[in-house]
Amino acid sequence: MLTRDEIEALPDDPYEGFVAMVDFLNQRLEVLERWNNWHARRYFEAISAFLDEHGLRGAEPFERLNDDPPNGEGPFSVWWTEYSNAVSYAQVRISLRLKRGGSLSVILNNDHRKEIGALLTKIRAIVPKLEVTDRKRDAIYARIGQLQTEVEKSKTNLEAFFALTLDTADTLGQAGTKAKPFLEALERLKKIFSKAKSEQQSPSLPAPSKQKRLEPPKPSGNGLDDDIPF
């Protein structure tokens, strides 16, 4: 339901982008004299594609946007009411968060990216040593990959880091002492992201320019009397 121009116009920040995309989609439905289940499914697919692309499926406040549309007019009507309400709820929540400066994106510099890359490499090397199932190990690898992808973007979505932390919390709790280096690396990542966020919110002021000194008034060459007009 989105045109290429509308997609290009979406903000880079995934949360700001979600708010803008929902506005585009709602406007598209509003101008249709009649719309049906086909349009509603395209609406659902556009939002699902956006959430998947940014690794936000299931994240707060998108938890209620996971259910696929059912078949049949009756069930579909009920689903659409609940789904569209959930979309509206998520959009309002994000709008309020952005209004008070709560964006979950951060701009990293090259030093940040280099340090984060080294830590992610270290974490990958630790994963095979963890006493977890193959399924959990693969899930951790997937989260690491998502975070690496985000770090390489101009704006990094911190949800990818939170997802890695939350998804591995229970797993690492069962992994014994071998999980300690992993947890230490996560803590170091947290500090890097916090530092980058602080630098973004409080940029250093440029050094004051050197002020030109005022020259003192030059005395008259003819004496004080020459300055008196009477």
> In sequence order, what E strands does 66-196 have?
105-106, 156-157
- Predicted confidence (pLDDT) per residue in 83-114, tens digit: 988 999 889 888 877 776 656 778 899 999 99
Closest CA to 106 of 179, 29, 229, 199: 199
Query: Is this structure's pTM higher than 0.75?
Result: no
Ranges of the chain with pLDDT below 70: 100-103, 169-178, 201-230
- Predicted confidence (pLDDT) per residue in 9-24, tens digit: 998 888 889 999 999 9
Q: How many CA atoms are closer than 13 Å to the CA of 176, on its beta-carbon side?
A: 7
Q: Exposed e or buried b for every residue in 81-102, given b needs 16+ CB within 10 A?
A: eebbebbeebbeebeeeeeeee
